[in-house]
Amino acid sequence: MSTTAVERAAPGGAERARRGRVSGLGLLVLVLLAATAVSLAVGARALGPGEVWHGLFATPDGDRHLTEIRLIVQTVRVPRTVLAVVAGVALGAAGALIQGFTRNPVADTGLLGVNAGASFAVVTSIAAFGLTDPFQYVWFAFLGAGAAGVVVFGLSSIGRGAGNPLTLALAGQGVTVFLAAMTTAVALTDVKSLNALRFWNSGSVAGVGFDVIGPVSVFVMAGLVLALTVLPSLNLLDLGDDVARGLGVNIGLIRTAGIVAVTLLAGAATAACGPIAFLGLMVAHVARYLTGPDYRWLVPYAGLLGAVVLLVCDIVGRLVVRPGELDAGVVVSLLGAPFFAILVWRGKFRSA
């Protein structure tokens, strides 16, 4: 019997489960707020709570010390903290969605070719147009991610296996391999593109201003709104296409809307901070363990967990090699590889 069925069978079980999940969301929000406060305080130069407060709210008064603190907080740490939260929510929610729509417990946002499409667009735009500002090539990255998602979805929608999750996975893998080869070919012929790709591919939330974060947040919000509209149908789709179709679900429409939502979320996050591997995979499994298979709870949990994990990894990256730092994407990968191995060892893929 499923977890949901047990909850309904037990007297008051469904209400207790709902209250527990709401409490869990509240706890995650508190953890995220705490991580945000720590993110504003730590770095090459540690700041106390009073200094962070002055850096956020103090008005210019000619004090050189406070002016320096204000520059550190407002121009460096606030943008990277906000980007870590926005990108973490996007990648976490996208990871849960792509696993649901493909019914594949090891699926990640890279399955749609989003990361490969963004990488190829970045190196091509730099090689062709000489772009150097992240605000310039982030739009090419987003377009490349979106185009790759459309191509993958289009390829998986034709032929004998149209609409099959396995066909989607195979199409995504094929497009990813092709774009990765093209990216390498372009980068090796242009030194500037190669240097930019090396920095961008590491997955960093640093060095991006609100001129990029603002537009990216709009796309993330659009993806989240679209995702929320398909969650009830995704629960039915998880029972199998035949059952969902019998219950009145328009499978083609729901799956299309879901893939568009994943592309918006993952494409926007990848365009802003580069590809960050394993994040969506990890938090989706943790969220499923906490909430069960109900995507109406699983996706919000995965989004908040994604923000917490990415922010904590960015903080760890700033602390372990001070006064230098490791990019957040590197720390996430170092955490994700053993997590992936543990999943295999415990056989969780079979029961997800």
SS3 104: coil
pLDDT band at 196 (very low <50, low <70, confident <90, very high): confident
Q: How far apart are CA 1 and CA 73, in angstroms?
A: 52
CA distance 341 to 346: 9
Q: What percent of the chain has pLDDT over 90?
A: 34
The mean per-residue pLDDT over the stretch 230-239 comes to: 88
Contacts of 227 by beta carbon, 8 Å cutoff, 6+ apart: 93, 97, 258, 261, 262, 265, 299
pLDDT computed for residue 6 by the predictor: 42
Name, in order, each residue with C-beta under 8 angstroms of 192's C-beta and a sequence gap of 6 or more.
Answer: 126, 127, 130, 132
Query: Cβ(110)–Cβ(174) under 8 Å?
Result: no
**CA of 178: how far to CAs of 107, 152, 171, 306, in Å?**
19, 12, 11, 29
Residue 324 — left, alpha, or beta (φ > 0 → left; ψ -120 to 50 → alpha)?
beta
Measured between alpha carbons, how far apart are the two ends of the chain, in Å? 15
Mean pLDDT of the chain: 85
- Residue 224 binned pLDDT confidence (cut-offs 50, 70, 90): very high
pLDDT of residue 351: 44
pLDDT in tens, 142-187: 889 889 988 888 887 776 666 666 787 788 889 999 998 998 898 8
How far, in Å, CA of 94 to CA of 76, rounded?
A: 27
Q: So what's the pLDDT on residue 350?
A: 46
- Three-state secondary structure readout of 215-253: HHHHHHHHHHHHHHHHHHHHHHHCCCHHHHHHCCCCHHH
**Six token digits for residue 113:** 């070719």
Lowest-confidence range among 79-83, 255-259, 300-304? 255-259
Which among 300, 289, 306 is positioned nearest to 342, based on CA atoms? 289
pLDDT in tens, 24-54: 999 999 999 999 999 999 988 888 888 898 8
CA 246 – CA 318 distance, rounded (Å)? 52
Please calculate the CA angle 87-91-93 and round it to the nearest 5 degrees.
120
| The model's pTM | 0.88
Q: What share of the chain is helix, strand, coil (3-state, %, to 5)?
A: 80, 0, 20
**How does residue 345 score in pLDDT terms, banded at 50, 70 and 90?**
confident
Domains of the chain: 3-351 (1.10.3470.10)
pLDDT score at 298: 95
